[in-house]
Structure 1
Amino acid sequence: MQFKHPEILYFLFLLLIPIIIHLFHLRRFKKVPFTNVSFLKEITLQTRKSSQIKKWLTLLTRLLLLAAIIFAFSQPYISNNSSFDSKKETVFFLDNSYSMQAKGQSGPLLQLAVQDLIKYLDNDETISIITNSTSYKYVSISGVKNDLIQLGYASNQLDYKSVFLKASNFFSRDPNSLKNFIFISDFQDKNGTTLDIDNSDVRTHLVQLQPVNKNNVSVDSLFISGNSTSKLDLTVIIKNQGNSIEDLSVSLYEKDKLIAKSSVDIEHTAQVNFTVNNDDFSEGKIIINDTQLQFDNVLYFSINKPERINVLSINESDDRFLKKVFNISEFNYKGSDLNNLDYSDLLNQSLIVLNELNTVSNSLIDILKSFVQQDGFVLIIPSNEIDLKSYNQLFNQLNSIQFKPILEAEKKIIKINFSHPLFINVFNNEVSNFQYPKVNKSFPIIPNNASRILSYEDGNPFLVNKENIYVFSASLNLNNSNFQNSPLIVPTLYNIGKRSMQLSSPYFTIGLENKIDVNTSLNQDQVLVLENESAKIIPQQKSFSNKVSIITSETPELAGTYGIKNNEQLVGKLSYNYNRNESTLSYLKVQESENITVSNSVSKVLKEIKSNTKVDELWKWFVIFALLMLIVEMLILKFYK
């Protein structure tokens, strides 16, 4: 038994007062002459004994009465937790990612979790709730009930480490408070993620909700597999998890009009091909029918008119190898001798190549600096006879690398940085044994935090990249290197050109950072707007002289196709889809450990927490006992003779 106000128990010492009064209370008897008392002696003795018993019983009932009142005011209780007076803090994380659309016993997992929170939490209990998209600090369930009922699914799921970090910020620093963290999720296994829980001050309750059916089929991706003047070939990838499916219907819509339909048998992965007119097709969507997860049944895409990327090469050497790479429909290549260079045309380019210039003039350095500040890309190929001072002056202005004096030694180019963005999706496997290109002379590089893309056998870089600047450390003419004949030259130069202008793809993923360059110009105070029937968004953007760069990540929030509008004029379309990582219904095996419990029900956890902090208050029983003692005393005084 414990006491909420134990200091009141000091009043028990006051019980000594009636005891002392009773023990030292001496009554003086008055003598009355009587002729013969022999008959009264027996009666007097019996009366004195009865009176003493009555006084002791009265004293006992009064002591018990006062003691019961004192105990009642001290508020005694019995509890499973010794910290009855401690502050209680409860934080919930409610996973509202798209995998929580999966069906449980009586509905989607997210809805079941919300229903249990509303049903089993006390209306006046102070709690905090975190979701992937919002948070509520120090609220009551009655105050956020409507918000939870209307809570939508979020495309940007927090990783587990971020969840625990965010939850820790919702708890106070009071070491004596009772802290409970309830993590409600399906704990989807994504690329080997793990739960790292190290906060021993918080009692963590993991509530793993899992669907009754783990089968799911999704529209995984789409790409353009063929492109002619009149036709466009589309390939759709369908993925299945669970039992094989026969005759799965796959529909192609142009906007909201059904234009083609196909069926496919699928075990794990299947491809579906469609062909559309290349002239007038601008936006579409692929739809399948699946009752498990809904968000991955539709994939939106858009086809914008192809735009050529402007590439200018400033030459003091043969540029035929550049023409071979860039003289295709995707690029608008122009070569110019240094002496005939039109400086006014430089800022209209996306990529400028310095092809083996011997020296870089101050005027060219200044305009290249402005060009890079306008988000332009520069590729530098040195000659063997460069003016080292002018080149390093250029590098200083571009905040790039530095050249050391030329080194005359044959070197083989053997190392490829496969993780560099330049080579993503270029190689099927990491090739380590190929016909190594070589150079006869090269400039050692001081990297200054530049990324190495290609390297020599001694580890020194052959091609480096820092932001928008790409630099070869050696001349590429055939007298110095055979790199022009290497299979590496085409993907290397082609991807440098493609990266100089981030043209629109058929679709982008919500939650990932996407950069899109729009070939338009804005007047002062003008902005580009993304708009469709349900939303109008002003994305993050930066205006340059020949383009506008749009950057999106968390917006838009809804999947669909959006028009890019410049002052109400449509200049392009962008399509966004939810991340397909949520489509795989595989889950972590969460385990109990010290200070961590695991459950499959929100209601069970809430009941357990309540039972652990439940107290049986006893003050009412002491009040009843005091009243009972009062009644007993009254009966003794009235009826006991």
Structure 2
Amino acid sequence: MTFLNPQAFWGLSLLIIPILIHLFSFRWYKKVLFSNLAFLTEIKDQKQSSSTIKKVLILISRLLLLFFLIVAFAQPILQGDLQSDINKERLVYFDNSLSLQQVDDSGEPVLFRSYTALLNVLGHTEIDFKVLDNQSLIDFNGDVNQLSSIQEFSPEKASFERIKDKTELYAISDVLMFSDFQKNSFDLDRIADDTLTSYKLYQSLPKQQNNLFIDTLYLTNDLSYSDSYTIQIRVKNIGNFDVSDALVRLVKEGRQLVSKSLNIVANGYSSLELELKGIEDVYGEYQVELSDVPVVFDNVFSFYLKNPNAARIVLLEEDQSKSGDYLQTLFTNTNYFQLSRERVSSTSVNQLMDADFVILSELSTIPDWLIKQLDEIKGSVLVIPAGTIDYNSYNQLTSSQIYPIDQANSSPISSEVINHPLLKGVLSNDDQKTFDMPNFEVSYGLQGYFESILQTNEGHSVLAQIGNDNLYFFLAPLSEETTDLPKHALFVPVMYKLAQSEIQSPPYYRLNESYVELLADSINGSEAILTLTQGESIYYPSFRFSSQGLVFEIPEEITQPGIYYLVNQYDTLGVFAFNYAIQESEIECYSMEELSALAEVHDHITYQAVTNRVLSNASMNMDQESNSLWKYALLLALTFILIESILLRFLK
């Protein structure tokens, strides 16, 4: 047996007090004269004998009461159990992720409460610890100054995989975890199944869980054909209560452009539109700022609108076609399009390979060489069939079965299919109700794997995407006999979307994404030295070249969101906006009931809810609770209080 608090034995000096009381408990007597004292002397001798025994028993009970009370304060532990613990190193995981910005009852971040609990445990044990937070590993030697860094919030997400890696590396089978236990960070089934490791869970929960963050952002209008631009934003509320009048601000390069407020129901979403007005140059760096406390790490959302490169378009015909005339008129804006109109018999294969958009306009037969080169074309391909086609060559090109429709009626194109992701934002909800859609008379049908982008009210496909490739097919020639679509306002955004689908860059990326694709044909692979920079921070991403251009990995070292520049030596190749992963903003935690139930059914798991800033040794020292003997010493002390009371009351 040994003692965790041996200093308490200084209290044994107090045992002298009941002894002194016993020895010097004299009585002062008053003399009374009697004529005959013989009878009184006999009574005195009998009483004196029984009183001495009573006093001795009371003295012993008082001494034992004080002794066992002092022993209880000394916290005795069985020698064998403690010795095995001293020889066993333990791992302490301290979660300092951004979700611990939530506040407790005192209004302070729960990170501080969790840190107080950690100091409480480490300060009352002689066992060696390795302290692991979300960024570093510390060999704790008893100096609390070593732990100063873990009091700072880390952008790194909590990871159970990281804990397991360290326990396997150092052969540790005893883990103490201090966290709020976010549901998307910890899999309780994995903890429950790992019966070879002992887990002690210390949970610090906020007063109430709530957080607002931007779930989705996109530009509803294509930059190449719209005169007004609208940012569509969806905000999510992680919390059990509604939020009213939350302020949302759109800022470009430090200048506020517009602000709005919105209401969001508990655990729900709310969408709003921010219109860009009075901006000469719509391209550049933007931030959307939310007014939300106390969780502020995801209040700023960055995105970047890039001026798209001019799409390289190759229009292939057998002879000059009516569809070709429409398209040549359509793609006249040289800021966004570079159109090359070619005869299929004289075109260059290399020109097709480099094109962003290839249009096969009213070809009666698809040449064999073009069918073979289709997979090598990196851009999108749109097929506009002729009135009479060679079905065999078309079937080979599309890997589908194309058949004629002889008696199709002209029918309006359905406005509902404008909700297709490719055509997002082409029509507003109000336009869909009032817009007169163009008519289309379908000439051909498709059998195989395809998705309808446009279709008639009767359900016939008008424009289809075939397979998983960027191969698109109109189901009739774009002639006046079959459709008025080329003269309709819908034709412009549909064709612009198809032409630029391969060159538009996403306005933002998440830090948990693996890689980014970039069109960069001018880079010499042997001389490329790529860096990602933000201010004075420089990162070196891994990269490779592909048929689409350049692919680089997002370095794991990047943990801060914001705008980053991709540089090749002195040439800036692109600008990218990175934001936190959605999972980090979803701060929902396991409840105390869930973790308590887990500990009740698994012997290798214990659970403690950290509910106070000032924590007692008894409540926090779960690892010593089963081996400690202080409660038995306290029970014996109470027993001798009872014995003393009985002696004083019943022993004469």
One-letter amino acid matched to 1:611: Q
2: CA distance between counterparts of 1:421 and 1:86?
61
Map residues 38-77 of structure 1 onto 2, 5 A cutoff: none
Q: 2:389 aligns with which of 372, 375, 385?
A: 385
Call closer, same or farther: CA 1:83–1:469 in 2, change over 3 Å: farther
Map residues 246-265 of structure 1 onto 2, 5 A cutoff: 252=251, 254=253, 258-260=254-256
2: CA distance between counterparts of 1:544 and 1:452?
29
One-letter amino acid matched to 1:385: I
Map residues 299-314 of structure 1 onto 2, 5 A cutoff: 299-314=301-316
Q: 1:199 aligns with which of 179, 193, 199?
A: 193
2: CA distance between counterparts of 1:419 and 1:167?
45
Give the superposition deviation at 1:463. 3.2
1: CA distance between counterparts of 2:128 and 2:358?
64
Call closer, same or farther: CA 1:110–1:494 in 2, change over 3 Å: farther
Call closer, same or farther: CA 1:483–1:463 in 2, change over 3 Å: farther
Query: What is residue 345 of structure 1 aligned with on the other side?
Result: 351
Map residues 630-641 of structure 1 onto 2, 5 A cutoff: none
1: CA distance between counterparts of 2:176 and 2:582?
29
Matched, 1:600 2:603: no
Q: 1:283 aligns with which of 282, 285, 292?
A: 285
Query: What is residue 207 of structure 2 aligned with on the other side?
Result: 212
Q: 2:361 aligns with which of 355, 363, 367?
A: 355
One-letter amino acid matched to 1:574: F
Query: What is residue 100 of structure 2 aligned with on the other side?
Result: 100
Do the aligned residues in 2 keep the contact of 1:559 with 1:577 (CA within 8 Å)?
yes
Do the aligned residues in 2 keep the contact of 1:541 with 1:548 (CA within 8 Å)?
yes
One-letter amino acid matched to 1:109: V
TM-score norm. by structure 2 comes to 0.58
Call closer, same or farther: CA 1:289–1:415 in 2, change over 3 Å: closer
Call closer, same or farther: CA 1:410–1:503 in 2, change over 3 Å: farther
Percent sequence identity is 19
Q: What secondary structure does 1:149 align onto?
A: helix
Task: Describe the superposition over 1:361-404 as per-residue Cα deviations: whole angstroms up to 9, x where unpaired.
Answer: 454456544433xxx33344555523636863xx6xxxxx6234
Map residues 502-513 of structure 1 onto 2, 5 A cutoff: 502-503=504-505, 505=507, 507-512=508-513
Do the aligned residues in 2 keep the contact of 1:80 with 1:614 (CA within 8 Å)?
no
2: CA distance between counterparts of 1:141 and 1:436?
79
Query: What is residue 539 of structure 1 aligned with on the other side?
Result: 541
Query: What is residue 442 of structure 1 aligned with on the other side?
Result: 445
Call closer, same or farther: CA 1:410–1:352 in 2, change over 3 Å: same
Do the aligned residues in 2 keep the contact of 1:231 with 1:276 (CA within 8 Å)?
no
1: CA distance between counterparts of 2:276 and 2:366?
52
Query: What is residue 65 of structure 1 aligned with on the other side?
Result: none
Call closer, same or farther: CA 1:302–1:477 in 2, change over 3 Å: closer
Q: 1:497 aligns with which of 496, 499, 505?
A: 499
Q: What secondary structure does 1:283 align onto?
A: strand
2: CA distance between counterparts of 1:386 and 1:561?
52
Task: Describe the superposition over 1:326-365 as per-residue Cα deviations: whole angstroms up to 9, x where unpaired.
Answer: 5666444443331342444323321223334344445445
One-letter amino acid matched to 1:125: D
Q: What secondary structure does 1:103 align onto?
A: coil
Map residues 371-520 of structure 1 onto 2, 5 A cutoff: 371-372=377-378, 376-380=379-383, 385-386=389-390, 388=392, 392=396, 402-404=399-401, 406=403, 422=422, 439-445=442-448, 447=449, 463-466=464-467, 468-472=469-473, 474-477=475-478, 493-503=495-505, 505=507, 507-512=508-513, 515-518=516-519
1: CA distance between counterparts of 2:177 and 2:528?
47
Q: What secondary structure does 1:310 align onto?
A: strand
2: CA distance between counterparts of 1:444 and 1:246?
52
Q: RMSD of the TM alignment (CA)?
A: 5.9
Q: What secondary structure does 1:339 align onto?
A: coil
Give the superposition deviation at 1:437. 6.6
2: CA distance between counterparts of 1:302 and 1:454?
30
Matched, 1:614 2:617: no
Give the superposition deviation at 1:568. 0.9
Query: What is residue 57 of structure 1 aligned with on the other side?
Result: none
Query: What is residue 33 of structure 1 aligned with on the other side?
Result: none
Do the aligned residues in 1 keep the contact of 2:97 with 2:157 (CA within 8 Å)?
yes
Q: What secondary structure does 1:521 align onto?
A: coil
Call closer, same or farther: CA 1:583–1:382 in 2, change over 3 Å: same
Q: What secondary structure does 1:319 align onto?
A: helix
Matched, 1:560 2:562: yes
Task: Describe the superposition over 1:598-632 as per-residue Cα deviations: whole angstroms up to 9, x where unpaired.
Answer: 54329789935313553669xxxxxxxxxxxxxxx
1: CA distance between counterparts of 2:422 and 2:575?
26
One-letter amino acid matched to 1:99: S
Task: Describe the superposition over 1:268-307 as per-residue Cα deviations: whole angstroms up to 9, x where unpaired.
Answer: 4677666564249743545566551232333334444343
Deviates more, 1:330-339 or 1:269-278: 269-278
Q: 2:128 aligns with which of 102, 121, 125?
A: 125
1: CA distance between counterparts of 2:81 and 2:375?
69
Task: Describe the superposition over 1:70-105 as per-residue Cα deviations: whole angstroms up to 9, x where unpaired.
Answer: xxxxxx986999997999796666544432222334
2: CA distance between counterparts of 1:319 and 1:185?
62
Task: Describe the superposition over 1:432-466 as per-residue Cα deviations: whole angstroms up to 9, x where unpaired.
Answer: xx999774433533x5xx87878999999983455
Call closer, same or farther: CA 1:273–1:215 in 2, change over 3 Å: farther
Query: What is residue 42 of structure 1 aligned with on the other side?
Result: none
Q: What secondary structure does 1:154 align onto?
A: coil
Matched, 1:116 2:117: yes
One-letter amino acid matched to 2:360: L
2: CA distance between counterparts of 1:466 and 1:78?
71
Do the aligned residues in 2 keep the contact of 1:314 with 1:336 (CA within 8 Å)?
yes
Call closer, same or farther: CA 1:417–1:600 in 2, change over 3 Å: farther
2: CA distance between counterparts of 1:365 and 1:358?
14
